[in-house]
């Protein structure tokens, strides 16, 4: 466990420096066949603090507050290419699959409210890429955004491997995840 600590801290630092003052919930992780992955669910207050500090306008922050932020860190610790493809990630509840709010969705929102280009760029770099051929030793981190839900959900993330995607599949499952809520002052 100790060897994971620096990576865990690095991931948290990468994602949201503003989180350092917040309480730290458990961070589930998976390590299998060269894939290392952990997820963390960030509360609306935490995400708002991050984007506010980067000059995002209030109407953008309001939109982001209504969602559920899943921060994911994925790292290829093996010898063959691992394909991160968000189309192969599924967020499952008892009622069925929750569709993530993808880049096209956010482009529509940002167009509607006229988000400045600099903020759009920063927002884009804080999201996980839709697709990435993770080379040996390569990490990637970022957010996946879901509509806010009270229900627990499972993240099932499938990764194809090998240059031509024919090297087999690795499945990572994170069960009983819950969207993080803001802490209520006593």
Partner 1 sequence: MNPRLFLLLCCLVLTGPAWPVDTPSLPPGVMAVEGTPAPTLRLNSLNGEPYDLAGSRGHWVFVHFWASWCGPCKREMPAIQRMINRLHTRRIEFVMVNTAETEDEVFTFLATVAPDVTPLMDTQGLTTERWQPRGLPATFLVDPQGRIRYQALGGREWDTPPYLDFLRHLASDTAPQSSQSSR
Residues that bind partner 1 (CB under 8 A): 10-15, 17, 50, 53-55, 117-122, 124-126, 129, 132, 135, 137-142
Return the half-sphere exposure (C-beta side, CA atoms, 13 A cut-off) of residue 47.
28
Two tokens, residue 81: 């290419």
Instruction: Kindly state the smallest distance separating residue 20's Cβ from partner 1, in Å.
Output: 11
In the bound state with partner 1, the residue whose beta carbon lies nearer, of 50 and 153, is 50
Instruction: Give the sign of the dihedral formed by CA 34, CA 170, CA 11, CA 79.
Output: positive
In the bound state with partner 1, the residue whose beta carbon lies nearer, of 108 and 116, is 116
In the bound state with partner 1, the residue whose beta carbon lies nearer, of 118 and 148, is 118
Separation between Cα atoms, residue 43 and residue 45, nearest integer Å: 5
Instruction: Kindly state the smallest distance separating residue 23's Cβ from partner 1, in Å.
Output: 19
State the first-to-last Cα distance of the chain, in angstroms, to the nearest integer: 34
In the bound state with partner 1, the residue whose beta carbon lies nearer, of 90 and 165, is 165
DSSP 5-60: HHHHHHHHHHH-GGGGGS------EEEETTEEEEEEEEPHHHHHHHHHHTT--HHH
In the bound state with partner 1, the residue whose beta carbon lies nearer, of 44 and 141, is 141
Instruction: Kindly state the smallest distance separating residue 54's Cβ from partner 1, in Å.
Output: 6
- Compute the C-alpha angle 68/90/52, nearest 5°: 25
Instruction: Kindly state the smallest distance separating residue 82's Cβ from partner 1, in Å.
Output: 13
Determine contact, residues 57/115, Cβ cutoff 8 Å.
yes
In the bound state with partner 1, the residue whose beta carbon lies nearer, of 121 and 183, is 121
Instruction: Kindly state the smallest distance separating residue 81's Cβ from partner 1, in Å.
Output: 11
């Amino acid at each position: 466990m100790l060897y994971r600590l620096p990576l865990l801290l690095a991931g948290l630092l990468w994602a949201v420096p503003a989180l350092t003052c917040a309480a730290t919930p458990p961070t589930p992780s998976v390590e299998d066949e060269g894939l290392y992955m952990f997820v963390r669910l960030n509360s609306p207050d935490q995400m708002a603090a991050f984007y506010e500090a980067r000059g995002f306008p209030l109407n953008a922050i309001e939109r982001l507050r209504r969602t559920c932020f899943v921060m994911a860190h994925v790292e290829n610790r093996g010898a063959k290419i691992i394909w991160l493809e968000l189309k192969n990630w599924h967020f499952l509840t008892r009622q069925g699959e929750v569709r993530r709010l993808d880049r096209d969705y956010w482009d529509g929102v940002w167009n509607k409210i006229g988000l400045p280009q600099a903020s759009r760029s920063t927002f884009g770099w804080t999201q996980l890429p839709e697709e990435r051929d993770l080379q040996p030793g390569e990490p990637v981190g970022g957010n996946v955004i879901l509509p806010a839900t009270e229900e627990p959900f499972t993240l099932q993330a499938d990764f194809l491997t090998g240059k031509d995607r024919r090297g087999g599949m690795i499945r990572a499952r994170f069960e009983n995840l819950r969207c993080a809520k803001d802490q209520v002052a006593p």
